């Protein structure tokens, strides 16, 4: 069940009606959210509901034991059990095939021939997201940042909250879990804000991302095309993945708002960033802060000199790339951003940067160049495929139909640029000050575009594969 489908519209309509009737009864509300979240997740593959319950149950017990224990050794053991459970499950389902394939490939390189076994593992939907959310909960309890939850219904409602279960935002327990412990009051402002975010989210996904999708596939699924077309396709993919993922996040936030819940922001006009560090403060913010707080800082952060800082940044982004998928292309994508961010940090802390000011437009251009190189590797089917596209860019032999293609891509990129500018200058607080009639007109225009692009067989969201 995906947001941009008719079945989800029916599902959420029925859920919202029942939710409105029981909203003042916390126990009924929690059971309704939990049951509906199980139904929502079970439509992907009901067999993985058991996996979600078992791994989540282990974290619930571990956090509870950590919370009531006064022995640091016992606390650490329960924490290690939670980490091993989460990472072991994630590693098996997501990376076992990748590492096995890589091992056989290395053996072939050194001249050892062996028969490769047939090994295929189905990837559970959203496993990367809910695993990180559950793991952060246990770690925060261990660190004493939050108290462990003693009510399993509230805990599982927090862990499986369906608006953000499959593709985030990756919520901290300190942000979302207390909202299940309190009475939620839904006012007109929250509903209006939720509807606004839902419309913008559907606009980004249905109108922008799905517009780019065939343009991207046209090039990335065909080899040996011209360099100019490869550049345009990479730019188009940058627009597609932004509209796709930011659209999902906005829909999730909007749905939660209509239920009286607040979710964390995940995107903040990233394509207006003037440096790579600023980009990662604006792109997939909940994942960026997760890796910062639970990996980069525990590795030492920037506390042990420039070389160690550079190493920590690169390692963090390599693992962030691997988090996205079991493919060397994602590792190269992470390494690309890690090297860029490490170099930027060295530059920013150097003495020469104080005397040389880089214009923002130049910084923006350099940032988008790095981001574009990263997107090429992110979307390519293999590292060799990515390098073939890079070599084609160097030769620059565009096919005859590139002019029409350029016009189509440019039109979409203009829509993305307009959205980021609009999002920066007309955020919700300013929109609230608009006359009622203007808000109705804008929402009606968005709705017309969405309905016009709505399909019977809607494409899924890109991040569902992670």
Half-sphere exposure of 260 (CA within 13 A, CB side): 20
Looking at the fold, whether 308 and 400 belong to one and the same domain comes out as yes
Say if residue 325 is in the same domain as residue 422.
yes
Domain membership of residue 100 (yes or no) is: yes
- Look at residues 298, 394, 257 and name the one whose alpha carbon lies nearest to residue 79: 298
Are residues 64 and 27 located together in one domain of the fold? yes
> Is 287 found in the same domain as 165?
no
Residue 17 lies in a domain: no
> Which of 147, 168, 184 is the C-terminal boundary of a domain?
184
pLDDT for residue 105: 62
Determine, yes or no, domain membership for 3.
no
In a domain, 10, yes or no: no
Query: How much is the pLDDT for 404?
Result: 67
d(CA 385, CA 106): 19
Task: Kindly state whether residues 338 and 311 are assigned to the same domain.
Answer: yes
Domain check: are 235 and 361 in the same one?
yes
Of 257, 280, 2, nearest in space to 125 by CA? 2
How far is Cα 250 from Cα 89, in angstroms, rounded to an integer? 29
pLDDT at residue 312, as a whole number: 93
**Is 178 part of a structural domain of the chain?**
yes
Domain count, the chain: 2
Query: Considering the domain boundaries, does residue 131 fall inside one?
Result: yes
Instruction: Look up residue 52 and give its two tokens.
Output: 């979600």
pLDDT computed for residue 142 by the predictor: 93
Q: Is residue 94 part of a domain?
A: yes
Domain end among 120, 150, 184: 184
Residues labelled as active-site residues:
324
- Domain identity same for 200 and 273: yes
| CA–CA gap between residue 338 and residue 328 (Å, rounded) | 15
180 in the same domain as 193 = no
Burial annotation 90-110 (CB, 10 A radius, 16+ → b, else e) = beebbbeebeeeeebeeeeee
**Encoding tokens for residue 330?**
């994602």
- Look up the domain containing 270 and give its range: 189-465
User: For the chain, what's the residue count?
Assistant: 466
Chunked in runs of 10, what are the mean pLDDT values of the chain (466 residues)?
87 92 88 93 84 92 91 91 92 76 64 63 83 94 92 93 89 91 81 89 90 86 74 87 91 93 90 91 93 92 86 93 88 94 86 76 89 91 86 65 69 78 72 79 86 79 78
One domain, residues 371 and 407: yes
Domain boundary, last residue among 132, 151, 184:
184
**Is 18 part of a structural domain of the chain?**
no
One domain for residues 72 and 108: yes
Q: Are residues 245 and 327 in the same domain?
A: yes
Does residue 377 share a domain with residue 284? yes
């Amino acid at each position: 069940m995906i947001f941009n489908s008719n079945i989800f519209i029916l599902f959420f309509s029925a859920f919202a009606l029942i939710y409105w009737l029981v909203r003042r009864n916390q126990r009924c509300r929690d059971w309704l959210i939990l049951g509906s979240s199980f139904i929502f997740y079970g439509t992907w593959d009901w067999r993985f509901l058991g996996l979600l319950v078992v791994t989540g149950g282990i974290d619930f017990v571990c956090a509870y034991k950590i919370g009531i224990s006064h022995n640091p050794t016992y606390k650490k053991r329960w924490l290690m059990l939670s980490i091993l459970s989460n990472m072991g499950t994630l590693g098996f389902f997501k990376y076992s095939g990748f590492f096995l394939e890589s091992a056989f490939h290395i053996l072939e390189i050194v001249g050892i021939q062996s028969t490769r076994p047939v090994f295929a593992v189905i990837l559970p939907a959203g496993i990367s997201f809910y695993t990180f959310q559950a793991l952060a909960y246990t770690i925060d309890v261990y660190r004493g940042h939050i108290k462990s939850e003693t009510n399993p219904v509230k805990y599982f409602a927090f862990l499986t909250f369906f608006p953000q279960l499959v593709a985030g935002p990756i919520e901290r327990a300190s942000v979302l879990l207390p909202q299940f412990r309190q009475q939620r009051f839904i006012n007109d402002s929250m509903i209006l804000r939720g509807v606004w975010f839902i419309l913008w989210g559907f606009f980004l996904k249905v109108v922008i991302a799905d517009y780019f999708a065939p343009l991207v596939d046209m090039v990335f699924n065909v080899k040996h095309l011209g360099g100019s077309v490869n550049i345009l396709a990479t730019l188009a993919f940058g627009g597609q993945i932004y509209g796709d993922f930011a659209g999902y996040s906005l829909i999730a936030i909007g749905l939660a708002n209509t239920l009286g819940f607040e979710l964390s922001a995940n995107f903040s006009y990233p394509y207006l960033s003037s440096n790579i560090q600023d980009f990662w403060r604006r792109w997939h913010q909940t994942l960026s802060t997760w890796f910062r707080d639970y990996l980069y800082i525990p590795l030492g952060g920037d506390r042990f000199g420039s070389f160690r800082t550079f190493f920590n940044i690169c390692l963090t982004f390599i693992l962030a790339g691997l988090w996205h998928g079991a493919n060397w292309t994602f590792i190269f994508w992470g390494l690309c951003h890690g090297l860029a961010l490490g170099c930027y940090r060295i530059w920013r802390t150097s003495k020469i940067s104080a005397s040389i000011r880089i214009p923002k437009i130049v910084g923006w251009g350099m940032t988008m160049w790095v981001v574009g190189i990263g997107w090429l590797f992110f979307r390519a089917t293999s590292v060799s495929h990515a390098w073939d596209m890079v070599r084609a860019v160097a030769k620059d032999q565009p096919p005859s139909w590139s002019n029409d293609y350029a016009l189509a891509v440019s039109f979409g990129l203009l829509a993305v640029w307009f959205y980021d500018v609009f999002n920066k200058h007309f955020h919700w607080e300013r929109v609230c000050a608009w006359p009622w009639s203007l808000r109705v007109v804008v929402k009606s225009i968005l709705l017309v575009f969405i309905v016009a692009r709505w399909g019977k067989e809607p494409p899924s969201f890109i991040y569902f594969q992670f």
